[in-house]
Amino acid sequence: MIQPLNIVPFVSVDHMMKLIHRIGIERMLTDIAGYIEEDFRRWEIFDKTPRIASHSLEGVIELMPTSDGKLYGFKYVNGHPRNMKAGLQTVTAFGLLSEVATGYPVLLSEMTFLTALRTAAMSALAAKHLAPRQAATMAIIGNGAQSEFQALAFRALMGIETLRLYDVDPAATGKCAANLARQGFAITRCATAMEAVEGAGIVTTVTADKQYATILTDNMVGPGIHINAVGGDCPGKTEIHRDVLLRADIFVEYPPQTRIEGDIQQLPPDHPVTELWKVITGAAPGRSDARQITLFDSVGFAIEDFSALRYVHERIREAGTYAELDLIADPDDSRDLFGMLMRAAPAQAPAGVSARNDR
Amino acid sequence: MIQPLNIVPFVSVDHMMKLIHRIGIERMLTDIAGYIEEDFRRWEIFDKTPRIASHSLEGVIELMPTSDGKLYGFKYVNGHPRNMKAGLQTVTAFGLLSEVATGYPVLLSEMTFLTALRTAAMSALAAKHLAPRQAATMAIIGNGAQSEFQALAFRALMGIETLRLYDVDPAATGKCAANLARQGFAITRCATAMEAVEGAGIVTTVTADKQYATILTDNMVGPGIHINAVGGDCPGKTEIHRDVLLRADIFVEYPPQTRIEGDIQQLPPDHPVTELWKVITGAAPGRSDARQITLFDSVGFAIEDFSALRYVHERIREAGTYAELDLIADPDDSRDLFGMLMRAAPAQAPAGVSARNDR
C-alpha cells in the first residue's frame, strides 16, 4: 500500500473512462478476459455463493461477494427494466476489493462500465473455448448498452469483423451500427432476428426487458453454431426457446446461480450442463464436433467481477486514474475511536491539530 | 434529489465527525435511537436476512443488507481481532443507501463511527424498555473503542451519570476514564469485573478478542439488573456464563442471526427468547418484575444500520457534510453507454464536449 490504510483509492466513472482510453478498449477486454481465465483456473479455491438479491416490483438489487483467500470483492448491482423509459440505466454497479487479512478496503470502483467490459470479456472467453474456429460472422440480437462491448470483445479475442445486427427497436440498431461502423466493423442491419442469424457462426442474444421472450426459436438454429446467450439473466427472463436448449450442449458459470437465473431455468434442475471453468482447465471437453450446437448461458458470476476489480486495482496506480477517499476511520490508538472524534471537535481543536484522520 | 442521479453523496470519516459535532453526539445518539425505534415498530415490512459472512483465519468480512421497500441499505463490515495488535481497527465499516424503485444509490457513508453510534443507541434503546427504572449506575466491562459511545448513549437516553469501569488492560480503562471524565461522568476505576458490577443496575459487557470468555459469572449477577451484552457477537465469541443466561430473560434483535452469533449460541436452539421489536410495539412484555434479570444479547442487525444511514441521509443536506461522488455512469441515451465512452476519448473530444458524465 502506498496510501495510509484509512484512504481507499476510488475509481469514478470519469476515471474509468480515462483508464479504458489509456489502455485501449480492446486491449483492456483482452486483459480482463485473461484475468478471468486465470481466476477460473483456480475456481476451486474461491469462496462461492449465489448472489444475494433483494427483489421489488420495479427490479432487483444484488450483492455479489467472493474471495480467493487473499482478496475479498463484492459488487453492488441493480437490474431495473423500467429504468430505461425514465432515461436511467437498466443496470448500474459499483464494487469493492479488500484485504482478507485485515478487512480493510483497497479499492472502490464504479462498475457500470467495468461490468459491461467483464460481461463482454467473459462471453468472448467462453467463445474462444466453444465457438467454431472458422466463425467470422456474429449476429447480435439486442442492440442496447451491452452490444458494442460484445462486438469489440469478440474482435479482440476471436477476430470477428463482420456483424449482423437486429433489435425490435430500429433506433437501437441504428445507434449500435453507427457506433461500431466507426470502429471499423462490416455491418449488416437486419429486419428480423431470423435474417440476423443467417450465415452467422456465433449468435449473441443480449436483449433486455423481456418476460420469457423467445429470441431464438428452433428453426433459426442450424448445426455447428455457438450461441452466446447473455440477456436471459434473472428469474422470469429468458431468450432461448426450450427446444434450442434441448439440442445444445450447455455451458455455464456457476450452476446453482444459473439454474435460477439463466435460460436453463426452463429445463429440469438435473439437465446436464458443463461448468466453463472445467473446460478452461481441460477437465471437461468444450466443442468436440463441427455440427455441435454450443450454448453459453451467461448470467454473470461474482468471480468475473473480482477478476475485473483485481485488474483495475493493479492498473490504476500506473495510470493515476483514481481519487483518494477518506472512508476508514483509523485512529492512532485503535481503541481510542472516541478520542479521535473529540480531537476533531471544531471548538476544542488547538491550532495545528488536524481535524482529519489521525494518521 | 438535488443532484443528478449519477452523483452519489459521500460522507467521509471527516464529514461524519463534523456532522456528529454539529448535531452534538448525545443528541445524535438520541435521534438514531429514535430512528431505530421507528424502524423496529415496522419490523415486519423489512426484507430480513442474516448477514452474509466470508470467514478467514484472520477474521470475517460481512455484508448486511435490508430494505423497507422504499430504500435499500447495506453495510460492509469486517471483524479482525488481531488488527488491534497491528494498530488497526478491529471493526471498520461503510454503508450505502439506494432507492428501491430505480436501484440508484443515494448515499455512501463511512460507518466506523456510525456503527459505534448505532450500536450504543441500540443498547440504550433496549435498556429503556428493559432496565430497572431507578438504575443510576452502569458497569462497563471492556473499555475499548465502543465503551465511551455506550456511556454517552446511556446518559442521553437513560440519565446514567455514574460509571464503574473495568478492562483486563488497565491502559484501556485509563483511556476510557480520561475520555469520559472530560464528558462529566462520575467514574470509578475497578480492579476486577466483580468489583465493577457492585451496585450497578446496568452491566454492559463490551470486550473484544475473546474466545468463549466468561466475563460475567453466575455469582456476579444479582437480582433486578439489566445486562447489556454487546461483545459476544460472532460464532465462538461469547462473554456471559451459561448459568447467567439460564437465569435471565433474554431479548434479541433477529433470532436467526443471534442464535449463531450471540451469547445464546451456548444455549439449545429452542431456548425461549423475546424479539425486541415486539417489546417496542407492546406485543411482548419487557421488564415485568423488579427482581427479574433482563439480558439484551446484542449482535447488531442490518435494520439498525439502515436506520442510522436513513438518519444521516436526512441530515447531511442541511449540514453540508458530504462530497459528491461520480459513481454511476448515466449517459443521455441509456442504451448508449458505449457512445458516452467514445465521446470521452481524449483525442476525439472536440472543444466544449465534457469528458465527464453526459449529464
Residue of A nearest to B183 (CA): A342
B276 CA to chain A: closest CA distance, Å? Answer: 24
How much is the pLDDT for B354?
Answer: 41
A65 and B54 in contact by Cβ < 8 A?
A: yes
- Percent of the residues in chain B that have a pLDDT greater than 90, as a whole number: 79
Q: Kind of pairing, strands B274-275 and B249-252?
A: parallel
Catalytic site residue from B233, B263, B297, B305: B233
- Tell me which residue in B58, B113, B334 faces A329 most closely, judged by beta carbons: B113
A293 CA to chain B: closest CA distance, Å? Answer: 30
Q: Tell me if residue A164 falls in helix, strand or coil.
A: strand
Ranges of H-type helices in chain B = 13-23, 25-41, 112-130, 147-158, 170-181, 193-197, 242-247, 255-261, 276-281, 302-319, 337-343
Phi, psi of B327 (to 5 degrees): -100, -25
Whether B309 and B110 have beta carbons less than 8 Å apart is answered as no
Write out pLDDT tens, residues A77-126. 998 988 888 888 888 899 999 999 999 999 999 999 999 999 999 999 99
Neighbouring residues of A272: CB distance < 8 A, sequence distance ≥ 6: A250
Write out pLDDT tens, residues B324-350. 999 998 888 888 999 999 999 987 444
Neighbouring residues of B162: CB distance < 8 A, sequence distance ≥ 6: B136, B137, B138, B185, B186, B187, B188
DSSP state for residue A114 in the 8-state scheme: H
Q: Which residues of A are catalytic?
A: 233
Q: Residue B289: what residue type?
A: D
Write out pLDDT tens, residues B93-111. 999 999 999 999 999 999 9
B330 CA to chain A: closest CA distance, Å? Answer: 6
- Mean pLDDT per block of 10 residues along chain A (359 residues) reads 73 96 97 98 93 90 96 95 85 95 96 96 98 95 96 98 97 97 98 96 87 84 95 81 96 95 94 98 95 96 97 91 91 89 76 42
Ranges of H-type helices in B7-60 = 13-23, 25-41
The upper half-sphere exposure of residue A234, i.e. CA atoms within 13 Å in the direction of its Cβ, equals 20
Query: Which residues of A are less than 8 Å from B342 in CB distance?
Result: 179, 182
Average pLDDT, chain B: 92
Burial B135-155 (b: 16+ CB within 10 A, else e): bebbbbbbbbbbbbbbbbbbb
Residue B1 has pLDDT above 70, yes or no: no
Q: What is the pTM of this model?
A: 0.91
Q: Residue A308: what residue type?
A: A
Grid coordinates standing for B107?
A: 448515499
Grid coordinates standing for A38?
A: 486465470
Q: Residue B241: what residue type?
A: H
- Tell me which residue in B16, B103, B338 faces A80 most closely, judged by beta carbons: B103
